[in-house]
Amino acid sequence: MMSLSEVLPNLFMFEDCCNVYLIRSRESGLAVDFGSGRILAHLDRIGVRRLEWIVHTHHHRDQCQGDEPIEEAGCRIAVPEYERHLFEEAEEFWQNKQIYINYDLRSTFMTLPKNLPTDAGLSDGDIFDWEGIRFRVIHTPAHTEGSISLLAEIGGRKVLFCGDIIHSPGKILNFYDLQWEYCHTVGVKSAIQTLRKLMDEDIDLILPSHGRPIHNPAKAISILVERLQKLDEIVDWRSINKPRSGRGLRRVTPHILVDNDSTSFFVLSPQGKRSFMVDCGYFNFDKISQLRDQFGVERIDFVIVTHFHDDHVAGINRLREEFGAELYLHESMVDIFLNPPRYNLPCLWPDPMPVDRIIKDKEVIDWQGFKLLAFHMPGQTDYSMGLFGEIDGIKVLFEGDNIPTPKQGCEMRGQVCCRNHLWLDEGFLKSAERMMELKPQLMLTSHWDPFEVSKEDLKRHLNWARRLREILTELLPYENPQFGVDPDWVCIYPYQSEVSPGGRVELEVVVRNHLSHPASCEVRMSLPDGWRSSPEKAELSLQPRSTERAVFSVESPEDARPRRYICCADVIFDGKYYGQLKEAIVRVKTE
């Protein structure tokens, strides 16, 4: 699983949870990235007696989780200046990291659990000299915003240590780390610009943090730029989006109202006195009187939710408590509403919500003569519901945020967000095929104007979903590209929990096997100093396309101070070591 190989004279690669590159000068060594630190056991074999420097390309745990012991032994550490705080102030980062209502999708969740002192910060254009080798620092924002690459002449060749900007010719390690901001493509655009900059450097050899050495850099980068441009175009819904027009409450049809100032819709009973809401986020409750006075609505029977995001659910508890409305919820979302601290998802509302009626998938809600089909409608998120039925002689579909209203003549593109749990086969594709069956005539979307759709529009959207999968399949280096869009193929449940000093908490490591063949998985808990887990490790056997769980009982020490602590799952999957792949937050509470 782990091996040390010579790339060039005096330049070695060690396959760890990341590729560690070791440059030898007599009996001294410099490492570019360090993984778990297991390379130390192999240095004698190549005559290195003293490791003088570790230089990191970025802050992710798989690059640096093994640094602490070697730092204590006197090895010096250089890191990207832009990310230096994520090494030196990691504990402060975790104490203040926003979990709820989080629209920042940058991959800072891969930060170390503990502070790591550093000796140098490297910025764009800096020269780092070691043993006559001059490393030029190039800021290469892509996989992380502060990533750097190191360009040096070694053995007569221009070698680029590039971190995770590229994995292999035309491929990247994953898509989700390029999604810096919610449903924006700024990270993809930055990667394209960075790669174009590297094309001007006349590089002979690229050494990536994951993947094999790349011996034809120009071609490898050119293919990747072309593929990223395709990705940038297909996920860019904003350039073809038609903004919402108007303000306030207005009629869409005689029995459907939209609130243009929030994400809410109201469906009115045939007599007009009763209603139900679709979504209740940041709704202005002063409009309740307008509902009564202008539209004759005397009662809101229930609210039904398209998905879990804060702007769709923030007002639900008030709606239940003050106005007596019940909460109807599709079965796919129930645990998120009952136990939000257990999840690490974007746009997550912090307050639990009692669920009055759980709606089974494909259940028909019969209300005041309207028959409405509630069905799983994944896309923007897997935790999503569509509500379809005929109202006022029109086949309508309440679809949440899946498909923004396009400009006339443009295709319907979805909002693509990996951290919402994007499924390539069971996401937009599944929903697009379902819409082809249902044939809605009017799409009721939460942030944009309702829009009419034809059979041809639905077919174009299905083709868009197919192209999205094709592009990501080209771009990602896995048998199943789902690994590259699923940041939670390993996750810990609950994500947040509490424990008393000396107490125990149960953490469940959930592993999804996206492969078409069986796979084994070994999991160990990497814990704060003084913490213990039982068992120490767990071994799982996963069937193809299946999910398994390993349960650990984690004990905090009696003297644990009240604050957040980070517990990581250290993972070997299908024979490959991934390191501290996922974390959970355990808060020690005061007595």
pLDDT digits (tens, 9 = 90+) for 427-480: 999 999 999 999 999 999 999 999 999 999 999 999 999 999 999 999 999 999
Whether the pLDDT of residue 389 is over 80: the answer is yes
pLDDT digits (tens, 9 = 90+) for 538-557: 999 999 999 999 999 999 99
pTM: 0.95
User: In this structure, are 446 and 571 located in the same domain?
Assistant: no
pLDDT grade for 591, boundaries at 50, 70 and 90 = low
* Domain's final residue, options 236, 254, 274: 236
User: In this structure, are 195 and 340 located in the same domain?
Assistant: no
pLDDT at 237: 86
User: In this structure, are 118 and 205 located in the same domain?
Assistant: yes
pLDDT at 247: 87
CA 351 vs CA 171, 276, 312, 354, 459: distances in Å = 40, 22, 13, 10, 39
pLDDT at 70: 81
Q: State the CB neighbour count (10 A cutoff) for residue 415.
A: 22
Whether residue 381 lies inside any domain: the answer is yes
Mean pLDDT of 273-296: 96
Whether residue 483 lies inside any domain: the answer is no
Mean pLDDT of 225-242: 93
* Tally of domains within the chain: 3
Whether residue 288 lies inside any domain: the answer is yes
Whether residue 485 lies inside any domain: the answer is no
User: What are the tokens at 572?
Assistant: 């070997």
User: In this structure, are 514 and 552 located in the same domain?
Assistant: yes
Mean pLDDT of 568-577: 98
Residue 537 sits in a domain of what CATH number? 2.60.40.2310
pLDDT digits (tens, 9 = 90+) for 42-60: 999 999 999 999 999 999 9
Whether the pLDDT of residue 585 is over 90: the answer is yes
User: Using CA atoms, how far apart are residues 126 and 532, in angstroms rounded to an integer?
Assistant: 43
User: In this structure, are 446 and 576 located in the same domain?
Assistant: no
User: Using CA atoms, how far apart are residues 28 and 38, in angstroms rounded to an integer?
Assistant: 17
Main-chain dihedrals φ then ψ at residue 372, nearest 5 degrees:
-120, 130
User: In this structure, are 254 and 303 located in the same domain?
Assistant: yes
User: What are the tokens at 315?
Assistant: 């007002």
**For the chain, what is the mean pLDDT?**
96
User: In this structure, are 433 and 561 located in the same domain?
Assistant: no
Whether residue 482 lies inside any domain: the answer is no
User: In this structure, are 199 and 247 located in the same domain?
Assistant: no
User: In this structure, are 450 and 539 located in the same domain?
Assistant: no
DSSP 213: -
Whether the pLDDT of residue 246 is over 90: the answer is no
User: Using CA atoms, how far apart are residues 86 and 116, in angstroms rounded to an integer?
Assistant: 9
Whether residue 500 lies inside any domain: the answer is yes
Cβ atoms of residues 548 and 541 within 8 Å: yes
pLDDT at 240: 85
Domain that holds residue 251: 240-475
* Domain's final residue, options 200, 216, 236: 236
pLDDT digits (tens, 9 = 90+) for 149-186: 999 999 999 999 999 999 999 999 999 999 999 888 99
User: Using CA atoms, how far apart are residues 104 and 347, in angstroms rounded to an integer?
Assistant: 9
* Domain's final residue, options 418, 447, 475: 475
User: In this structure, are 424 and 560 located in the same domain?
Assistant: no
pLDDT at 1: 58
Lowest-confidence region among 56-65, 177-186, 216-225, 558-567 = 177-186
User: In this structure, are 307 and 221 located in the same domain?
Assistant: no
Residue 155 sits in a domain of what CATH number? 3.60.15.10
User: Using CA atoms, how far apart are residues 425 and 252, in angstroms rounded to an integer?
Assistant: 33
User: What are the tokens at 582?
Assistant: 């996922």
**Amino acid identity, position 205:** L
Mean pLDDT of 66-83: 90
User: In this structure, are 333 and 191 located in the same domain?
Assistant: no
Whether residue 484 lies inside any domain: the answer is no
pLDDT digits (tens, 9 = 90+) for 324-379: 999 999 999 999 999 999 999 999 999 999 999 999 999 999 999 999 999 999 99
pLDDT digits (tens, 9 = 90+) for 395-437: 999 999 999 999 999 999 999 999 999 999 999 999 999 999 9
CA 462 vs CA 23, 408, 465, 560: distances in Å = 50, 18, 5, 53
Whether residue 100 lies inside any domain: the answer is yes
